[in-house]
Amino acid sequence: MLSTQLHIDRDRLLADIKTLASFSDDTPPGISRLVFADADQKSRVWLKSQCDAAGLSVREDAVGNMFARWMGTRPELAAIGTGSHIDAIPHSGKFDGTVGVLGGLEAIRALQQSGFEPQRSIELLLFTAEEPTRFGLGCLGSRMLSGGLDSTADARLKDSEGTTLAQLRAAAGFSGSLDQVRLPGNYYAAFVELHIEQGPQLEKEGLAVGVVTSISAPAALRISVEGEGGHAGGVLMHDRKDAFCAAAEIVLAIEASALATGSVDTCATVGKCHVYPGAVNSIPCRVEMEADIRDTDEQRRNQVLRKIEEACTRVAAARKVQVSVTLINADAPATCSTRIVEAVVQAAAENGLSYKKMVSRAYHDSLFMARIAPVGMVFIPCRDGVSHRPDEYSAPQEIENGVKVLACALASLSQAAGD
């Protein structure tokens, strides 16, 4: 049994995580790595050196996705992929994404050292810009790999300073047409991503591993409310067209629409709200806000979107304001491959690790990889469910457990069965 021969070098892996955390534009323990910025570039150089040391063949595409391949005995077959991202939102932690990248590398090294020989090649994939920090759009690299974005993104995507994607990737040394980034549909026979849960369920239930069965996907709405401003004392209450009061009703309607589905998998959040003119003695004349509506069921999520639009129309008429709703994006949820789920379950069982099948309510690069390959995800616990904060933490044993399960799953999937 492979699990008995497999040794995860925990000390090496923890040292790798510590080294990667040192490439940051933030003050420790906070981590900040903006894609294409200095810390990101230094991280990539270091990661390539680690992949070279492991004997992996490394290449990068035009947007900076990095592929590090351990060649199998039948390299003509579709490969098995694993990986995640290393870019980090401002003042975040050192485990989000990086556990999937460095854990994937350690899984490959452990398999190599065990004497295992894969038939299918096993490839570590570093995705460019999973976080939306720089361009306001998440999963840039995997969207391009799966055909969700084309070369028009070069000029269309800009950072807060107005610098285009084309300019930024060129400055970082990535050239070539973005139209060449998309992978063919038969490139991967399976793709498995290791990630911290970013939620509290595994820790609460005392479980070692989460086996993801589906990945929720968001729709983003931009809602603008136009009312009439005026002096806080000069305009009587019955004469007002207060944009913020109307917006407050809409926010509550959004919450109610999500709750009305009766499903725990439906989530709705209004995370941005700007009130104008923003003076305590001035009636708000305009409100700009953005909402995130996500679900594992696309039809159910779209039903919520329709209810929100109906609520906006109703509030606009009742309060005599103007409300406009713009759909920014609506990504489709993904269902994980039954074959990969079974491989992960078997890997957990072989290693004597407790597990549960669960939904990923955060979305990841695997959501977009599901458009071109069978996918699966392995979750490990994180303390108190905390993520995107400096106190984000997964214990060494939890990380080792996840890497061991990943390695065994990759080994199983790398055999040529299915062709």
Query: What's the per-residue H, E or C state across 283-347?
Result: ECCEEEEEEEEEECCHHHHHHHHHHHHHHHHHHHHHHCCEEEEEEEEECCCEECCHHHHHHHHHH
According to the 3-state scheme, what is the secondary structure of 343-406? HHHHHHHHCCCCEEEEEECCCCHHHHHCCCCCEEEEEECCHHHCCCCCCCCCCHHHHHHHHHHH
Contact by Cβ (8 Å): 68, 34: no
User: What is the distance between the alpha carbons of residues 366 and 139, in angstroms, rounded to a whole number?
Assistant: 9
Class of the CATH-defined domain 217-330: alpha beta
Q: What confidence category does residue 339 fall into, taking pLDDT thresholds of 50, 70 and 90?
A: very high
Q: If phi over 0 gives left and psi between -120 and 50 gives alpha, with beta otherwise, what is residue 210?
A: beta
Q: What confidence category does residue 323 fall into, taking pLDDT thresholds of 50, 70 and 90?
A: very high
Q: What confidence category does residue 3 fall into, taking pLDDT thresholds of 50, 70 and 90?
A: confident
**How much is the average pLDDT of 303-321?**
98
**How much is the average pLDDT of 359-380?**
97
**How much is the average pLDDT of 395-415?**
98
Instruction: Supply the pLDDT for residue 101.
Output: 98
Helix (H, G, I), strand (E, B) or coil at 195: strand
Question: Which among 234, 237, 221 is positioned nearest to 319, based on CA atoms?
Answer: 237
User: What is the distance between the alpha carbons of residues 147 and 184, in angstroms, rounded to a whole number?
Assistant: 9
Instruction: Supply the pLDDT for residue 317.
Output: 98
Neighbour count for residue 288 (Cβ, 10 Å): 16
pTM: 0.93
Question: What's phi and psi for 211, nearest 5 deg?
Answer: -105, 110
CB-based burial, 59-71: b 16+ in 10 Å, e otherwise: ebbbbbbbbbbbe
Question: pLDDT (tens digit, 9 = 90+) per residue, 253-297?
Answer: 999 999 999 999 999 999 999 999 999 999 999 999 999 999 999
Q: In the chain, where are the structural domains located?
A: 2-216+333-413, 217-330
Fold of the domain built from segment(s) 2-216+333-413: Aminopeptidase (3.40.630)
Per the structure block, which two tokens stand in for 8?
């995860």
What are 288's strand-pairing partners?
Answer: 224, 274
Instruction: Supply the pLDDT for residue 4.
Output: 79
**How much is the average pLDDT of 322-345?**
97
Task: Tell whether the model's pLDDT for residue 137 goes beyond 80.
Answer: yes
Contact by Cβ (8 Å): 91, 83: no
